[in-house]
């Protein structure tokens, strides 16, 4: 018998946060590629993240309408001026 959140999707208390959001995901956020002078929208596949030397690295794969795949790794930083 398989039991637990992984199998049943029943979870206990989940973490929440309050306060100002530094970033909010907006449906208008898109990855655009430039091909032959025209902007094309790419499908974004999240490939996970990990910590390296105290910084997070986020990995994505962009897929063009033609099926071409582009790997993207980024290390975001926040500069609180």
Taking alpha carbons only, the member of 31, 35, 41 closest to residue 74 is 31
Q: Can you tell me the distance from the alpha carbon of 76 to that of 51, in angstroms, rounded to the nearest whole number?
A: 12
Q: Can you tell me the distance from the alpha carbon of 16 to that of 20, in angstroms, rounded to the nearest whole number?
A: 13
How do residues 42-59 score in pLDDT, each as one tens digit?
999 999 998 888 889 999
Percent of the chain having pLDDT more than 90? Answer: 36
Q: Can you tell me the distance from the alpha carbon of 12 to that of 4, in angstroms, rounded to the nearest whole number?
A: 10
In sequence order, the β-bridge partners of residue 43 are 63
Per-domain residue ranges of the chain: 38-81
pTM of the model: 0.57
Predicted confidence at residue 30, as pLDDT, reads 77
Query: Per-residue confidence at 70, pLDDT binned at 50, 70, 90?
Result: very high
Please check whether residue 41 is in contact with residue 27, taking contact to mean a CB–CB distance below 8 angstroms.
no
């Amino acid at each position: 018998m398989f039991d637990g959140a992984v199998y049943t999707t029943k979870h206990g208390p989940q973490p929440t946060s309050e306060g100002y959001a530094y970033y909010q995901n907006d449906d208008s956020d898109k990855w655009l590629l430039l091909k032959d002078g025209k902007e094309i929208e790419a499908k974004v596949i999240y490939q996970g993240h990990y910590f390296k030397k105290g910084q997070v690295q986020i990995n994505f794969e962009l897929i063009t309408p033609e099926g071409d795949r582009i790997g993207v790794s980024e290390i975001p930083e926040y500069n609180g001026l």
